[in-house]
Amino acid sequence: MSMSLLRALLGGAVIAALGFAQGEAPAPVAAQEPVVVKNPFQPFDRARFEVAAKQLGANEAQLQTFATQIAELGLTRAADNLLRAAVPAFDAAVKRHEASDPAAALELTKVLAAATDPLLQAHVRYHLARVFIDSDDPERAIQILNEYLKDNINRSPLDAEAAFFYAQSLAEVPRVDDAIPRFRAFLQWFPEASERFRSAAHQQVRELERQRESKLHHLADGMKKTTRDLKKQKTDKPVQLDQEKYIEELDELIEMYEEMEKKSGGPPNGNGPSSNPATQSALPDGDGSVGDLQKRPTLADRWGDMKDRDREKIEAAVQKGLPPQYQKMLEEYYKKLGKAQGK
């Protein structure tokens, strides 16, 4: 069923009037041809990557290590390790994340604010998004991965994971209608991505589609009850409120399908390069390609365990020297982290 037909069945008023009054089937609605979105991702260019890494300070020995690690750890992790070796401040910030230090977001943001090279920005944004995801803050992850997808793609082998985690973050918000096409795009555009990520994406698409489908069943269930109420001549306020709720839910569904229709077709809009797939978050267990994914105390736990003066130190640092958009982002992040721990 095309998206436009589905939307019409949910919302098309004039046709519906005839159908309701006379029991006629709705008139056919012309389906729009889906517009194919061009894959914005290009194959990884190792030579270009190595030139950029050298410009960031990578030396020959580090490049040799990179070459060796590709076979041992995989391209993505080897590339990230090279960047970490070349840029000590970035490495230090990532280590804070690996140690579940709440200052990780602040330190990564400082590195990001100072970075002008798109390759370094890509890696910092990826790690910062992972910090937000680990802090159960998918909105902030979406914000930072939008920047990645807008400004940093086709520089690093991290693109596939950035695409996965973006979709994952949308799913966690939950923005089901935005997440599904992005998981699909990830699967289509990154056939060589790790099987763990691909399996997780397949599973997510199935689960999200079921969620969407169940909304329709849920509505039908509610209407069944109302049908019984009306039969019993119950037409008072509670019944009317139930009925109004159905209209609201139908409006939401119509809006959702309109959005999906726009996104399966038209040019990118809304958050980020909309047709780009994006990131990943809830990794399947095992090696993420980058970073330590072992279980550890959450960032919110650590934030709660900190001494007041240490928390205040971080909060004060957020107010100093960061671009306004990042200052606001971190203010909201730490506020949310504090709420999770009642601080």
Partner 1 sequence: MLRFLQDRVNKATKEFDGKAAEQKVADAGKVESDKLSGKQARVRDLMRKLAVKMGKENDATEGGK
Using rule CB under 8 A, residue 70 touches partner 1: no
Residue 136's alpha-carbon distances to 7, 94, 217, 276, in angstroms, are: 33, 18, 29, 23
Beta carbon of residue 99, minimum distance to partner 1 (angstroms, whole number): 40
Interface size with partner 1, residues (CB under 8 A): 43
Binds partner 1 by CB under 8 A, chosen from 70, 92, 239, 282:
239
Using rule CB under 8 A, residue 22 touches partner 1: no
Are 79 and 156 within 8 A, CB to CB?
yes
Q: Which span sits near partner 1 by CB under 8 A: 50-58, 119-127, 224-232, 310-318?
A: 224-232
Are 138 and 281 within 8 A, CB to CB?
yes
Binds partner 1 by CB under 8 A, chosen from 63, 89, 176, 216:
216
Two tokens, residue 44: 């990884």
Binds partner 1 by CB under 8 A, chosen from 213, 292, 305, 312:
213
Rounded Cα–Cα distance for residues 141 and 119 (Å) = 18
Are 133 and 281 within 8 A, CB to CB?
yes
Query: Rounded to 5, what percent of the chain is helix, strand, coil?
Result: 70, 0, 30
- Specify the residue, 95 or 212, whose C-beta has the smaller distance to partner 1: 212
- Specify the residue, 202 or 328, whose C-beta has the smaller distance to partner 1: 202
Q: Which span sits near partner 1 by CB under 8 A: 2-10, 70-78, 140-148, 280-288?
A: 2-10
3-state SS record for 2-40: CHHHHHHHHHCHHHHHHHHHHCCCCCCCCCCCCCCCCCC
- Specify the residue, 23 or 342, whose C-beta has the smaller distance to partner 1: 23
- Specify the residue, 13 or 30, whose C-beta has the smaller distance to partner 1: 13
Are 291 and 98 within 8 A, CB to CB?
yes
Label residues 264-287 b or e (16+ Cβ within 10 Å = b): bbeebeebbbbbbbbbbbebbeeb
Beta carbon of residue 193, minimum distance to partner 1 (angstroms, whole number): 16
Q: For the chain, how far is it from start to end, CA to CA, in angstroms?
A: 49
- Specify the residue, 10 or 108, whose C-beta has the smaller distance to partner 1: 10
List interacting residues with partner 1 (CB under 8 A).
1, 6, 8-13, 15-17, 19-20, 26, 202, 206, 209-210, 212-213, 216-217, 219-220, 223-224, 226-228, 230-231, 233, 235-236, 239-240, 243-244, 246-247, 250-251, 254
